[in-house]
Amino acid sequence: IAPVRFDREKVFRVKPQDEKEANIIKDLAKTNELDFWYPDAAHHVAANMTVDFRVSEKESQTIQAALDQNKMHYEILIHDLQEEIEKQFDVKED
C-alpha cells in the first residue's frame, strides 16, 4: 500500500457559538469525512468549544460553503497538510 498523501488537505478551526452551530458541525460530519483533531470525535462537539478537524481538498469547499452560509466563524489552521507533514522534520540530523 502506498503511503497516504494529504496534498492540499485542510485543517479547519471552528468555534460553534451555540447548540445550533454545534449541530451543524455534527451534521457535516455525517455527510463528509471529517477527521476530528479536537475533540476526538463528532459526538464530543458542543457549544463554545474550539473544534479542529481535517478535511480533504475536495470536501473542504463544501465545508467552507456550509460554514459561510451559516455565517459561522472559522479559520483554516493548515492549508496544505502534506506540506506541513514534510516541514515537521525541520531539524538537521546531528
Question: How far apart (Å, rounded) are the C-alpha atoms in residues 15 and 6?
Answer: 24
Cell of 17: 457559538
Geometric angle at alpha carbon 66, from 82 and 34, rounded to 5°: 40
Determine, following the binding rule CB under 8 A, whether residue 87 of this chain makes contact with another protein.
yes
- Under the criterion CB under 8 A, does residue 85 sit at the interface with another protein? yes
User: Of 26, 46, 64, 66, which one interacts with another protein (CB under 8 A)?
Assistant: 46
Provide φ and ψ at 8, rounded to 5°.
Answer: 60, 20
Binding footprint of another protein on the chain (CB under 8 A): 1, 3-4, 6, 11, 13, 35-41, 43-44, 46, 49-50, 52, 54, 77-78, 81, 84-85, 87-91, 93-94
